[in-house]
Structure 1
Amino acid sequence: MATITVPENYGAVIAVALGAIPVLGFVHGSITTGLRKEAKVPYPHSYATIEQCKSNPKAEQFNCAQRAHSNFLENAPQTMLFTLVAGLKYPTAATAVGAAWLISRVLFLYGYVYSGKPQGKGRMLGATFWLCQGALWGMSVFGVGRDLISSATLGF
């Protein structure tokens, strides 16, 4: 039977991965829902039409919020997993990089929704989240994954 020993300071890893990241998802959803009402985009429509955006600036802002939220949902699950796995070997680094990912995602959200730059180009303010996500992936695969492979025994 395999056992996994978690480091003493693994609680901080859990706080980032299973605490703060889901809270940011809730913030994304709240902002998007609030802007949906102002944009007058009825359910079940995901985005405002081009015509709605031309006549109502809040519709364009809603689209930016909706896309920022979708992008968050596309990236959060693997980031949570990478943070939890990387934290098994590198708890302090995983916590710090996970927190940096969160800060980058907040800047991404702010820039996309509130910067006023056309076509949501303000999102580039937080584009560094990709670097953080890549670092967490690397720590997971080349740190923890390599250790698991090297310690595995094959019994035939």
Structure 2
Amino acid sequence: MLSLTVPESYGSVIAVALGFIPVLGFAHGFIVSGLRKAANVHYPQCYATVEQCQTNPGAHKFNCAQRAHANFLENATQTMLFTLVAGLKYPQLATLFGGLWVFFRTIYLYGYVYSTQPRGKGRLWGGAFWLAQGALWGLTVFGVAKELL
């Protein structure tokens, strides 16, 4: 029989991994859906064409939102897992880095979609999410290695 004991403060880890991160995913979807209408991009087309972007500024904004959302989806699952696993050994650090990840991903989304910088370069403001994600990965590997060795 396997027994798993979680730290007393594990609730904050769960709040970040299974609360804030999914809510940010819903926000991404909501923004993309709203901009899709304004861009006049119909399903199943994922992105506006170059021609659409040249004639409709909303199409470019939609593409930026769609790409920010795709990048979020590429990283959210592993970040949730890293947060949950790292939180078993280091709940405060996992909560901190998970929270920073959400914060910087929010800045990334805002900068990508709403900044006036060309070609979505405003997203770079939130690029520090990679540091938080790397820290969560490191805590996970270190915590697991510590248990195995």
TM > 0.5 between the two?
yes
**1:148 counterpart residue number:** 147
More displaced stretch, 31-40 vs 1-10: 1-10
1:43-68 Cα shifts (integer Å, max 9, x gaps): 00000000000000000000000000
1:92-140 Cα shifts (integer Å, max 9, x gaps): 1100110000000000000000002111000001000000000000000
Code of the aligned partner of 1:103: F
Report the Cα distance in structure 2 between the residues aligned to 1:26 and 1:54, rounded to whole angstroms.
29
TM normalised by structure 1 equals 0.94
Pairing 1:17–2:21 present = no
Report the Cα distance in structure 2 between the residues aligned to 1:6 and 1:116, rounded to whole angstroms.
45
> Pairwise mapping of residues 1-156 of structure 1 onto structure 2 (< 5 A)?
1-143=1-143, 145-150=144-149
Report the Cα distance in structure 2 between the residues aligned to 1:96 and 1:138, rounded to whole angstroms.
14
Identity of aligned residues (%): 66
Report the Cα distance in structure 1 between the residues aligned to 2:97 and 2:77, rounded to whole angstroms.
15
Report the Cα distance in structure 1 between the residues aligned to 2:116 and 2:62, rounded to whole angstroms.
12
Code of the aligned partner of 1:146: A
1:25-78 Cα shifts (integer Å, max 9, x gaps): 000000000000000001000000000000000000000000000000000000
3-state SS in 2 of match to 1:6? coil
Report the Cα distance in structure 1 between the residues aligned to 2:116 and 2:44, rounded to whole angstroms.
26
3-state SS in 2 of match to 1:76? helix
Paired residues, what number?
A: 149
Shift of residue 147 of structure 1? 2.7
TM normalised by structure 2 equals 0.98
Shift of residue 4 of structure 1? 1.8
Runs of 4 or more consecutive aligned structure 1 residues displaced over 2 Å after TM superposition:
none
Code of the aligned partner of 2:87: G
How large is the RMSD of aligned CA atoms in angstroms? Answer: 0.7
